[in-house]
Amino acid sequence: MVNITEVKGSGRDHRTAAHTHIKGLGLKSDGTAETLGNGFIGQVAAREACGVVVDLIKAKKMSGRAVMLAGGPGTGKTALALAVAQELGTKVPFCPIVASEVFSAEVKKTEALMENFRRAIGLRVRETKEVYEGEVTELIPEEAENPLGGYGRTISHLVITLKSAKGTKKLRLDPSIYEAIQKERVTVGDVIYIEANTGACKRVGRSDAYATEFDLEAEEYVPIPKREVHNKKEVVQDVTLHDLDMANARPQGGQDVMSMMGQLMKPKKTEITDKLRAEINKVVSRYIDQGVAELVPGVLFIDEVHMLDIECFTYLNKALESPISPIVILASNRGNTVIRGTQDITGAHGVPPDLLARLLIVPTHPYNPQEIQQIIRIRSKIEAVAISDAALQKVSEHGAKVSLRYALQLLTPASILAKVNGRQEINPDDVAECEDLFIDARRSAKLFESSAGFVS
């Protein structure tokens, strides 16, 4: 008997990220926050404030402004920024960065900032194309004598018959389209579509009329198109301005040795000039005026914003005034602190006063014990971890005394210990054992201070 095993996909189906449970701000229709909504617990005032920000963005009245989320670690600042992006829509670009990412040896700070600004601005291009689509019922390449002489023959044209639910059409195609059809490995019985303008060919799948065949390969069966063979189709493409910058920044070199050597010797990252960006902005504005494209301002989330220096803050001021700019959300967990790049100038959250004047500041507050317990209960469901009420209470106490992040990190190791001990759900003994194996920061510091070899 032949041994056949099913290969599991390498996708991230079972991966649980830190904010997997966040699906939105969890607001009612009147703008007030629900106690438990879309995975959010607590932070009622902050969620309602972010709801107002979402309304401002949708009304296109956030130009030149930014939002700052100010609060201690683990109070939901990143979750709020992610929820704002989800409230705006799934197709809205969301670009999260940490302030220290802009400091690179290859690219200057302002260039790295602008690159992320452009990543957070989307362009939705709508294009109407003439297409031929249907099931291939006939595929005949017609040959002719080779014009260069000799015994070889060449493809003069391709005769193809396409069938849809509303009729059949016989087409005579250019030899270049035959090459595209060969690349797609199209055979009789496949459903394809061909663009009339460009000649691009795409194999959609096998016609479902052949679904009863026993093939060795796993084939995707699709129904034949319901419309006419020749019709107009609206194609929507989503790109970011950074994609356009990169596409135009790379010159298409020739095939000579010098141009090939130039491409090899070129550094990995190159700066994109302001002149090129200005030209791209002009083309984008023209497309928007013609109704061909629509600008989709996304969300740029800069965490730990106090790590930026005075040059970056000055550049942020300029970038916010640009006619094409995304919604910028900053986050900081510092109070009054020295602004980086200066000697003794302090500012609230490490941000200069001129930039602070542009910001709508939303405070986030520590969670109370009941909210911590609800958050841990939600995370245990998301991570598919069974936990008893007594163990949940014990983990929640750690969340209140130590930190919410430490409590959440105990869940998965405790479930592994429970399985090792032959139990299906976590009990307080597993939490206690896990607590001894993985100590928190305060206990770790005390342990080193009390050790004989500690040097202060």
Query: Residue 183: is it exposed, middle or buried by C-beta count within 10 angstroms (0-12/13-18/19+)?
Result: exposed
**Which architecture characterizes domain 36-120+298-363 according to CATH?**
3-Layer(aba) Sandwich (3.40)
What distance in Å separates the CA atoms of residue 100 and residue 90, rounded to the nearest whole number?
27
- CATH fold label, 369-450: Helicase, Ruva Protein; domain 3 (1.10.8)
The pLDDT of residue 302: 92
CB-CB contact of 411 with 438 (8 Å): no
What distance in Å separates the CA atoms of residue 154 and residue 223, rounded to the nearest whole number?
34
- CATH fold label, 121-251+263-293: OB fold (Dihydrolipoamide Acetyltransferase, E2P) (2.40.50)
Average pLDDT per block of 10 residues along the chain, 456 residues long: 57 57 81 78 87 85 82 86 83 86 80 88 84 88 70 76 88 82 86 82 84 60 85 81 82 49 51 82 88 84 90 88 84 90 88 89 89 87 88 89 87 91 90 90 84 55
Stretch(es) of the chain classified as CATH 3.40.50.300: 36-120+298-363
What distance in Å separates the CA atoms of residue 301 and residue 53, rounded to the nearest whole number?
14
The pLDDT of residue 57: 81
The pLDDT of residue 68: 92
CA–chain centroid gap for 162, Å, is 38
Distances (CA, A) of 16 to 379, 383, 451: 9, 7, 38
CB-CB contact of 84 with 58 (8 Å): no
The pLDDT of residue 105: 65
The pLDDT of residue 3: 64
Stretch(es) of the chain classified as CATH 1.10.8.60: 369-450
Which residue shows structure tokens 């976590």? 426
What distance in Å separates the CA atoms of residue 175 and residue 155, rounded to the nearest whole number?
6
CB-CB contact of 197 with 177 (8 Å): no
Distances (CA, A) of 185 to 99, 161, 219: 48, 16, 13
Distances (CA, A) of 27 to 39, 61, 253, 374: 11, 21, 53, 18
Structure tokens at 207: 């016609």
The pLDDT of residue 454: 52
Query: Residue 89: is it exposed, middle or buried by C-beta count within 10 angstroms (0-12/13-18/19+)?
Result: exposed
The pLDDT of residue 416: 92
Stretch(es) of the chain classified as CATH 2.40.50.360: 121-251+263-293
Structure tokens at 327: 């919604």
The pLDDT of residue 294: 85
β-bridge mates for residue 326, sequence order: none
The pLDDT of residue 236: 78
